[in-house]
Chain A
């Protein structure tokens, strides 16, 4: 143990010498894996367009992990931008402020659609939140009592749905996508089915009742996917009757293998998401440290480049990849908010 401690001490000493006085000239970004493909496209194009600046380094690892790194403090040894597939939480903002990151700018880059898809060989699938809730909830109110979900087949939920066993591959709880799924599909479906009122009648605590609405069955018919969409795709390939949850951009890249389901009769597409017709979508963000603007070379230019119409506009590489651009006025407002220096 002693020799190991000495070794570590020696390594740290050499590290400290080597680590002295490094002025960083490269933007560092971390965070959401949903935002990662978009951030990569922008970073790469930024490096090509501005030869004076180095290409930013984009780490993945999830919204929560990215914001945690972001909130470690201010200075060249901390990251400049955190990508997020949800808004920063108050608790995270407090951690940030406690660590000295008092000036955080929020930047919205556009919207991401969440789609349901099955194997391309299946018949067309029409989903509504109510059916999905009835198929996936852990417990349902039947005859005035909370019982474990009895449905095994989609056709038992709604006879218009296919007569196959329920198998849903949904994002695991650490994913930001899961929150959107819970809120926009399950909670919504719970209300449509009238179950929220019924559950409140049975469960006194209001928070508990709300949790019951979004609790997903654990009997193996709904499967949490903790990996990425590639894993969901592989699961669908091996179980042709399975229904998977994907990001719109991922679906569009694999549309020859997948068949997308309509939600409440609306086909997901850039147009229907931008207009708000398609219900399951969410805004994507990134957060910038104001203190780093003007200190880290190229940071201001990078953010401005990201918000430019040539990157996030309707006819841009990000839109081509699957990002749903915000409406014109909203993009204009986002740009203005950044140049004005609005802070959280």
Chain B
């Protein structure tokens, strides 16, 4: 409207200039406005990315450190094997009362009266309950340690760890927090002597799931994810490439192939939870495969990734110029030779890029795994893809629902690890494309 009135006005006032008014100013203004919109869009995107990264990193970086209490532990024979039966019955070493060793060491280090039961309990509560297995493994691996004193670094209990990192508000009334005044005093004492210190948290990478935050890690989840990625790679890459070569190079162009193409494009957009339902009914209920196993997860993710790979591969094949095919055919190569000796090698960077992006997508997927029982608490490492395991994003989801404070940082820590994996995979895809892609 305003445009019209202004042009009408100018016609009326200065007829001579009207023909020369081609709206230069207006068009430049529009261009500037559009540029500003684009820039704003990018800035908003960057802002949210920054906020996301900031919240994750600021919450999560502490997860890579873990408080440990280093104590001289006396592996007293009286406690571990009072009747000296370990020669005849080595299983005795498995069930010995190892927490007593920790108790005695703490009582000694903190100078507590062993008869004061509540005080002793507060002291032992500072050390993770995982100390039992830690000491047991030490003794079982090396029974000669019995009767000697060795310095052992024990994990601090989750709340003590959080308090040591300043994540628990210690100013509130003692009844309202998990760390008691006496324990804070002991923490100070142990820190001064150097017995309590933060170490690099290797456990975060090696432990399986645990109800104790200090002893939980992404080990099982990472292995489960690795199994699934291998299955996806081994199945989806050959099937996807074969399907696309056939569709692109051999299949006749008719209604049926059009229908297939439409369906593949649709499948790429199907919500992933649908693949989970499919996996539950086909692989678990019909084929009788085990629940919670990485093999089922891998198969479900394969189905989910296939359309992505097929679409990327077909695009890569299409991008190879027809002159290459004609030249090969003209020199007497068969169609098969043309494809495998000339077309496919040239399309390979595109195929691999598509595969890696598909894999990265599959790595971050949780929804389909929920239905096949992989959102689970799994402690033992899976020996094979047939054993129960979880996946990295699932572990993040499960930690996010935990009540203990120490799981908050672990959730963000695990997100950082997953993000690093994804960045590395996507970088790999970009590098492959940069390095090997040919332009015509």
Contacts and interface: CB of A to CB of B under 8 A. Distances in A.
A binds B: yes
Interface of A: 1-4, 7-8, 11-12, 15-16, 18-19, 22, 24, 26, 28, 30, 33, 36-37, 39-41, 43-44, 47-49, 51, 54-55, 57-61, 69, 72, 77, 79, 120, 227-230, 249-250, 252-257, 317
B287 A44 contact: no
A22 B386 contact: yes
Nearest to B132: A48
Contacts of B24: none
Contacts of A60: 375-377, 398, 401
Contacts of A18: 289, 295, 386
16 contacts: A1-B260, A7-B303, A11-B235, A15-B287, A18-B386, A30-B373, A40-B209, A44-B210, A49-B95, A59-B375, A60-B401, A61-B375, A229-B401, A249-B403, A252-B178, A253-B403
- A37, A43, A44, A229 interface centre (most CB from chain B within 10 Å): A44
Contacts of B373: 28, 30, 59, 69
Interface in B187-227: 209-212
Given A77-B284, A229-B403, A256-B176, A61 B370 contact: yes
A3 B243 contact: yes
Given A3-B243, A40-B211, A15 B283 contact: yes
B380 A230 contact: no
A19 B370 contact: no
A255 B180 CA distance: 13
Nearest to A246: B403
B267 interface: yes
B388 A26 contact: yes
A186 to B, nearest CB: 25
Counting from the closest, the 10 A-B pairs by CB-CB distance are A55-B379, A58-B377, A253-B403, A59-B376, A40-B211, A255-B176, A19-B289, A15-B287, A228-B401, A57-B388
Given A7-B243, A15-B295, 6 more contacts: A8-B282, A12-B283, A51-B94, A58-B376, A255-B178, A256-B168
Interface in B257-316: 259-260, 263-264, 267, 282-292, 295-296, 299, 302-303, 306
A28 B403 contact: no
A223 B283 CA distance: 39
A253 B287 contact: no
Contacts of B375: 59-61
Contacts of B74: none
A2 B260 contact: yes
A247 B303 CA distance: 40
B149 interface: no
